[in-house]
Amino acid sequence: MLQWNLEALDLTLRYTWKISRNASDLKTNLFVTVGDGRVQGRGEAAPNVRYGETPVLLQEQFAALQANGIDQVASVDELQHLMGQHRVLPALRFAIESAFVHYLCRKNNQTVTEFLGVQPVSSAPTAYSYPIMEPGKIAAFTQEHGLHRFEYLKVKVNQESGLDMMTQVAKAAPQQPLMVDANEAWQDPDALMRFFESLKKLPIIMIEQPLPSALQDEYLYLKKRTPYDLYADESVTDHADWELLQQQFHGVNMKLMKAGGYLNGLSILQKTRAMGLKTMIGCMMETSMGIWSALQLAHNVDLLDLDGMLVVKDEPFKLVREEAGRLYPVEQP
């Protein structure tokens, strides 16, 4: 019989993390451990209010699984079936599945990439994201956090200060390609096109989810007119309408916390490529435990935005190290 445990951990952030819909200085993530008394595996859940997830709700869902036989599961299929029966939300599904996969791999002396049938990476470059802030503070923020070492920089924007922020980032880091992440901040595609026009002199390589995911027709309209690659984030959770997505976007940002597990995350990347779309792996505000997992799927991915652990003050696990803007997996959770 397996022993399953869940622990909540408050993560203080190095600075206020502000995006178009909310801001926070502290995140509460959940950590799953499963073992048989000899070996164990761990996994992380980063609840996201955008998808109806809270720490309390995920703790309640975990308790329901404990009361309904999770300690009896013997395979990933059985585990997924049980979680499906109880409608477990994606972030907790990922924490549970990844912990179980890590346990199985340790038990069977197998790597996670071998288990998944993918190529490993020894290191990978990550983008680093600016939260929304006063544009006048960007130059100092860039220097304070040494952001010139990253291959790409991503900028969280809203309608009010988006242009000023982008202009100041380009001025502070003139040699680096820029990614724009609006987190569904715009409603009007024509207003968005005017924003794009104002950016044309800046070294922008992509725009991420500028409109709400519900505005499906507006994305069809926008893709035909945008000068930039559009990447889906909120439009892809643990499922997607792939034919529609192909008409709306140029790429997909897969996050394991949205996908609900390694296996579905890998499937989303495979479907993205099959539709001729570009691939990206992103993250929530996570420790190195979640980022280590994302790196297992990083081979042949077009863009990586895995800086969440770098925003956590006194990151507790040290399972990934960052050097010169590259991430190096150190130890399996």
Helices then strands, each counted (H, E), the chain: 13, 14
Annotated binding residue 238: no
Is 255 considered catalytic here? Answer: yes
Annotated binding residue 208: yes
- Asked if 194 and 213 count as a contact pair (C-beta separation under 8 A), the reply is no
Q: Identify which of 153, 148, 183 has the alpha carbon closest to the alpha carbon of residue 166.
A: 153
Distance from C-alpha of 164 to C-alpha of 294, rounded to nearest angstrom: 32
Among 18, 27, 107, 156, the active-site one is 156
Annotated binding residue 233: yes
How large is the angle between the packed helices 90-107 and 55-67, nearest 10 degrees? 50
Among 137, 255, 258, 271, the active-site one is 255
Is 137 considered catalytic here? Answer: no
Distance from C-alpha of 60 to C-alpha of 199, rounded to nearest angstrom: 46
- Which residue positions form the known binding site for Mg(2+)? 181, 208, 233
Active-site residues, by number, are 156, 255
- Which residue positions form the known binding site? 181, 208, 233
